[in-house]
A and B are shown apart, each in its own frame.
Chain A
Amino acid sequence: MRHTPIALLAAFALSVTATAALAHHSFSAEFDVNKPIKLEGTVKRVQWINPHTWIYIDVKKPDGTTEEWGIEAGTPNTLFRLGFTREALPVGSMIVVDGYEARDGAKRANGRNMTLADGRKLFMGSSVGNDAKN
């Protein structure tokens, strides 16, 4: 039987969630599934902290003013092992965030998908690069 990536990913997720939450905490308790949001902005600062990295971006509003949004991402330890350093996402970089808005109405979102302004997926493509030998 041929499995679709979605079915496999679901099986994967189930195998992980059999004993533990997928991410460190429930993102659906923090972010609103009914409020998808797309933000384009420049990186203002990045907090490489545990349990979650926070990327703060300045988003330009239609009236020309800017507002700061905080974007929640994963643990920095994983990226650090893969060779990413704080230079990987310099201040001033343009990024597009496709995620969900905070349930409490604050200017926060999860970085469900983050892409560079030219369309390249931010950091995509190497999530399974750990080379621990079995």
Chain B
Amino acid sequence: MRAAAVATLCVLALGSLGAQTAKSQWKTPWGDPDLQGTWSNQTITPLERPREFADKPVLTEAEAAAYEKRLVAAGDVDVRQPGTVQDVNLAYNQVWWDRGNKIVADRRTSLIVDPPDGRIPALTPAAQKRRDEDRRASDGEKTAASWLDFDVYSRCIIRSALPRLSTGYNNNYEIVQSPGYVAIMQEQMHDTRIIPIGTGPHLPATVRQWLGDSRGRWEGNTLVVETTNFTDEARGSTFQYATKNMTLVERFTRVSDRTIDYQFTVSDPETWTRPWTAKLPWNRIDGLIYEYACHEGNLGLEHMLSAARAAEKKK
């Protein structure tokens, strides 16, 4: 009996030691929480809750398995609608897409956790106008006069405005830290955010940047990053239909050896009737971030402008 108790205590002690060791592995040599490594935010969970799950924020295990299977099957078949713009814009064989095959581990039906309905809050009238203008501008690419008529993605400037969501491929990031700084590089477009840690003020409001101006701080084991000073200088340089005055607050928390819990809140009274928050995991990937030299091989931009000039000549 006594031997069993001692053995149990030893197991508990070893278990505790194991947990301690694992946790201490998530600290940098200078004592900050360690978020370093290569990660992917790829998930097939939609940003907004689908109508079919209107009253179902979380699926059961069986429902989640069936839903996942359905989404994967839908993405892995050769669906053609010949002669439609959608067919052209799907561009190439399914294999070139890499959307993933997992919904988020906590089986939520939307990445949005607030508002509770899992939907983006209503757009203000001004934001609706911006959305309509953006759609017109997108159609207008067929008659573009200049590279300036294209969005930041087509122009290889940045992948998209912050915050970043899971998209069709290359959802990979590398985080590197040094005392006082955290750097986050995204594989696609190779843009890197340099985040100073501390309480210093943001840049003056007159200074605007593609990735805004970020300031980080540690709250326990969570990296909290507040970003302001976005720019609306080019199409797509603001998040969705927000203005350059949007505030982004991100929270990165290492929750296991292979997972960072990532959460963001966006606020912009000129765009949404209330702030909203989404949560998605960053999962460790085994391997390196690859080169994504975008400008060098961006033949598509040249060809689109050439197509627009050819269309002009036909008129």
Interface bits B230-271 vs A (CB < 8 Å: 1, else 0): 000000100110000000000000000010000000000000
Q: B95 touching A50 by the CB < 8 A rule?
A: no
The count of residues in chain B whose C-beta lies closer than 8 Å to any C-beta of chain A is: 91
Restricting to B283-315, which residues have a CB under 8 Å from any CB of A? 283-285, 287, 290-294, 296-301, 303-304, 306-311
Give the number of residue pairs across the A-B interface with Cβ within 8 Å: 250
Contacts A47-B297, A124-B78, A128-B101 given; indicate if A25 touches B169 (C-beta within 8 A): no
B10-18, B42-50, B199-207, B213-221: which lies at the A interface?
B42-50
Q: B297 touching A15 by the CB < 8 A rule?
A: no
Restricting to B73-95, which residues have a CB under 8 Å from any CB of A? 73-95
Q: B142 touching A21 by the CB < 8 A rule?
A: no
Interface centre among B84, B300, B311 (most CB of A within 10 A): B300
**B227 is an interface residue with CB less than 8 A from chain A:** no
CB distance from A75 to the nearest CB of B (A): 6
CB distance from A101 to the nearest CB of B (A): 11
Contacts A11-B50, A25-B300 given; indicate if A128 touches B76 (C-beta within 8 A): yes
Q: A52 touching B297 by the CB < 8 A rule?
A: yes
- Nearest A-chain residue to B106, judged by Cβ: A134
Q: A27 touching B52 by the CB < 8 A rule?
A: no
Chain B residue numbers with a CB within 8 Å of A6 are 79, 81
CB distance from B263 to the nearest CB of A (A): 15
Q: A26 touching B304 by the CB < 8 A rule?
A: yes
Q: A132 touching B100 by the CB < 8 A rule?
A: yes
Contacts A22-B89, A27-B88, A133-B102 given; indicate if A12 touches B75 (C-beta within 8 A): yes
Q: A30 touching B89 by the CB < 8 A rule?
A: no
Chain A residue numbers with a CB within 8 Å of B240 are 18-19
Interface of B is mostly: loop
Category for how many chain A residues contact B: 35 or more
Select A75's contact among B78, B150, B169, beta carbons within 8 Å.
B169
CB distance from B293 to the nearest CB of A (A): 6
Contacts A75-B188, A125-B76 given; indicate if A20 touches B301 (C-beta within 8 A): no
**B181 is an interface residue with CB less than 8 A from chain A:** no
Chain B residue numbers with a CB within 8 Å of A108 are 303
Chain A residue numbers with a CB within 8 Å of B168 are 16, 22-23
B19-27, B55-63, B121-129, B152-160: which lies at the A interface?
B152-160
Chain B residue numbers with a CB within 8 Å of A123 are 93, 95-96
Interface centre among A31, A51, A72 (most CB of B within 10 A): A51
CB distance from B29 to the nearest CB of A (A): 27
Q: A19 touching B169 by the CB < 8 A rule?
A: no
CB distance from B159 to the nearest CB of A (A): 8
- A-B residue pairs in contact (CB < 8 Å), sample of 19: A8-B71, A11-B46, A13-B86, A20-B159, A22-B89, A22-B90, A23-B90, A29-B141, A30-B300, A74-B95, A75-B96, A77-B187, A78-B95, A78-B96, A82-B95, A112-B88, A123-B93, A125-B94, A128-B76
Interface of B toward A, CB cutoff 8 Å: 40, 42-44, 46-48, 50, 52, 70-105, 138, 141-142, 144, 150-151, 153-154, 156, 159-160, 165, 167-170, 187-188, 236, 239-240, 258, 281, 283-285, 287, 290-294, 296-301, 303-304, 306-311
Beyond the given pairs A15-B48, A77-B169, 4 more chain A to chain B contacts, judged by CB atoms under 8 angstroms and listed by A's residue number, are A18-B48, A51-B298, A104-B303, A124-B78
Interface of A toward B, CB cutoff 8 Å: 1, 3, 5-6, 8-13, 15-16, 18-31, 33-34, 36, 47, 49-54, 72-75, 77-82, 100, 102-106, 108, 110-114, 121-130, 132-134
